[in-house]
Amino acid sequence: MPFYFFKKTLLCFFLLSFNSLQAQMQPLINEPVDISPEFRNFANTYFLADSLQSFDANKIAGNIKWQRNRYTRRMAFDNELAAFRPDKGFVFPEAEYEVNPELPFSIEFVSPRALRLRVKTGMNMTAETDSLMLVKEPATDKSWKHSKIKGGHQYASAAGSVTILEYPWRIEVRDANGKLLTSTNHNTDNEGTYTPVVPFSFMQRSTDLSKSFAASFTLSAGEKIFGCGESFSRLDKRGQKIVQWTDDANGVQNPTMYKPIPFFMSSNGYGMFMHTSTPITCDIGASFNAVNTIMVGDDELDLFIFIGSPKEILNEYTNLTGKSPMPPLWSFGLWMSRITYSSETEVRDISAKLRQNRIPSDVIHLDVGWFETDWRTDYKFSTSRFKDAGKMIADLKNDGHRISLWQLPYFVPKNRLYPEIMSKGLFVRDAKGNSPYEDAVLDFSNPAAVQWYQNQLDTLLRMGVSAIKVDFGEAAPAYGLYHSGKTGFYEHNLYPIRYNKAVAEITKKITGDNIIWARAAWAGSQRYPVHWGGDAENSSNAMLATLRGGLSFGLSGFSFWSHDIGGFVQQTPEELYRRWTPFGFLSSHTRSHGTPPKEPWLFTKSFLDEYRLSAEMKYKLMPYIYAQAKHCSENGLPMVRALFVEYPDDPGAWMIEDEYMFGSDILVAPFFDDGVYERNVYLPKGKWINYQSGEVLNSGWNRIKGGKMAAAILVRDGAAIPHIKLAQSTKEMDWKNIEWVVYSADNKTATGLICLPDDNVLHPVSVTANKLQSDPFNGTVKWMIHSYNRNK
């Protein structure tokens, strides 16, 4: 193993222990790696970006001079602060080691709206390979024009400009109107505060001389930051410290994340993607309100910056890292589950009861109980409890129910597959070559391990299984040694995307469908839908946190997302289940799952009726959902999206974290207070029509009561929403008969989108005076058009 990666292993172990002690906890194996304390360590050496020493305007590359500093104590009247102070260094021989080194940086323009900033801290001997996070290495965009300006250089495109200043060394990003969006932070910028601020810099550790980067950028007054993955904390990340380390969050009400994504966007009109798999800590104005410090574990910075509106930024980011392909139609239906169905008799009974109770549904998920021994993943159905699994799968599929199966990539010593995994060396190793855990953790950086794993799934998929639940994946050993030649410092965060990719590719190969059901993710995982929100608690707080997580996830490049309706951990209280149900059905993918009972007929009749009504609503809306999904897939947009994505010019929309747009035309405001079935709802500009009552409402704050479904559901004035006749599964839907419902307060022209599964092409549609302006299918589809009747 390269000595460099061994040092990173030791560093990672140190950080895990250090951060745990910082939190006054015993070190835990799953403790997220927060590297920020290393940027405030008095023993380390800091190099602050100081001045531009050389620059080639044609290559857009040059050298930065870095000022050596120490972190020193400063005391005044029994109060101590810390500050950076220039340091002459104590190196020998002096002629061999630079006190203030000059090191290379470069900028590449990859589109009129996107640039790539690369900064090195020394010699890099590792060969550059294809990145798992990128679809491909981006091409160079030639539209940016250079001009020499006083004290620096400027490059401009139709979307904005980038200025490189000589002293203080600085990079400024502006929009097309010249508005400053953000700039790097130089140490001289912080002379007006006593608060210690980490400027644009890198740090060298005293423990092993390894380096990590701090990319510090300015934050404007009132600026908001969004994204960073499926973060369950407040939607606006300004003032928060976000640790980007994949973790089994064990819930949705703590700072850790199943799906950290190293990307964010700003209300100021820019976004950033940290192209690294090392630990990242984003101090987004938490330590000092005016500075966003991105601390990456890597010894070089590879940062993409995007300019534009939220939609433009998401499109640019997903052009680089990939857009979510369209999942199959059936996946948008209801997935019925619990932990767990354990026998063929039970599964057949659930299928029958779904039909008897007229609950439209498409998938029955079998969680941890389909093996002979619960949880012991050996990829074989229990022979004692499943008489003929293949026939069961075929029979249910004929009735419109597909089967999804749970599994995980960790193998306990009692698993029949454990000896084979160990003997073939398919596991992640420790420094001695053994397994670091009692379990064997499959090493997805090893092509042989991927092939072995896919062979296990191949048998199940050929049997007729439609989807594989890609559970766990957050526990890749932080100090493990991987087949790639790297340690967990680099591989831990890549583990989810390698895992997602392995399952998605074999599923696509055998079934032709783009579908998995995954919990963990990293940048690029959106190419392998679908992901769900993990193990939410059964409470109203957890319900709201789940929505915040989903909105943040959607603002991180993921189009499709789901969550366990009613929460996972304990038996769901009926009252909570009632309020969570419309939220669940008005998400791209819908699953009832968790501690039993989850089946609606095991609750009161009134709840069963309401649950059925929400299910029927989604199935009738399937043409709208499918078309919106297609639009999201093509543009990198989320189905469950923050209001400001659709309404970026509405200041109020940027403040809302407890409502969402379901596609472009439907606004959903769930009820989050126990036992309360009305709430204040913020409506963006324009008029809105209550989906349940037909009442026309104006923009701004409105007090809205729920109807037969426990949520406030509004439709944009001027929207034409395609519906389809109710069917009990998507298999039975008649796509030759589409009903357009026009939501218009003044009979003006309404617009909508349509995409038929067989055609799979998105078509815009306009309706005026209850007449279709043009028929995209030339008479092969029968259209019914009517205006929404509030008295219906």
More confident residue, 31 or 212: 212
- Render pLDDT for 757-785 as a digit per residue (tens, 0 to 9): 999 999 999 998 788 888 999 888 998 88
Cβ–Cβ < 8 Å for 216, 291: yes
Give me the residue label for tokens 């994504």: 261
| pLDDT higher than threshold 70 for residue 26 | no
Report the pLDDT value the prediction gives residue 18, as an integer from 0 to 100: 45
Percent of the chain beyond pLDDT 70?
96
- Render pLDDT for 102-143 as a digit per residue (tens, 0 to 9): 999 999 999 999 999 999 999 877 766 789 999 999 999 999
Contacts 24+ apart (CB under 8 A), 30-34: 30/247, 30/248, 30/474, 30/475, 32/243, 32/245, 32/247, 32/256, 32/279, 33/243, 33/245, 33/279, 33/297, 33/478, 33/492, 34/241, 34/243, 34/245, 34/279, 34/281
- Taking the C-alpha atoms of residue 48 and residue 50, their distance in angstroms, rounded to an integer, is 6
Beta-carbon count within 10 A of 97 CB: 10
Mean pLDDT of 373-384: 97
Report the pLDDT value the prediction gives residue 93, as an integer from 0 to 100: 86
Mean pLDDT of 228-247: 98
Mean pLDDT of 346-372: 98
- Taking the C-alpha atoms of residue 231 and residue 408, their distance in angstroms, rounded to an integer, is 23
| Active-site residue identified among 283, 298, 535, 717 | 535
- Strands, E assignment, 617-756: 640-641, 660-662, 666-670, 678-690, 696-705, 711-716, 719-724, 737-743, 750-754
**Residue 8 — very low, low, confident or very high, per pLDDT cuts 50/70/90?**
low
Report the pLDDT value the prediction gives residue 270, as an integer from 0 to 100: 98
Asked about 474 being catalytic, the answer comes back as: yes
Q: Which of 59, 58, 62, 80 is nearest to 71 (CA)?
A: 80
- Render pLDDT for 553-589 as a digit per residue (tens, 0 to 9): 999 999 999 999 999 999 999 999 999 999 999 999 9
| Active-site residue identified among 471, 491, 537, 658 | 471
| Active-site residue identified among 474, 491, 537, 610 | 474
Work out the burial of residue 500: count CB atoms within 10 Å of its CB; fewer than 13 is exposed, 13-18 middle, 19 or more buried.
Answer: buried
- Render pLDDT for 59-80 as a digit per residue (tens, 0 to 9): 999 999 999 999 999 888 989 8
| pLDDT higher than threshold 60 for residue 307 | yes
β-partners of residue 767 are 750, 772
Mean pLDDT of 15-23: 44
Report the pLDDT value the prediction gives residue 717, as an integer from 0 to 100: 96
State the pTM of this model.
Answer: 0.96
Average pLDDT of the residues of the chain: 95
Which DSSP symbol is given to 137? P
Give me the residue label for tokens 């324009």: 686
Report the pLDDT value the prediction gives residue 693, as an integer from 0 to 100: 95
Mean pLDDT of 633-637: 98
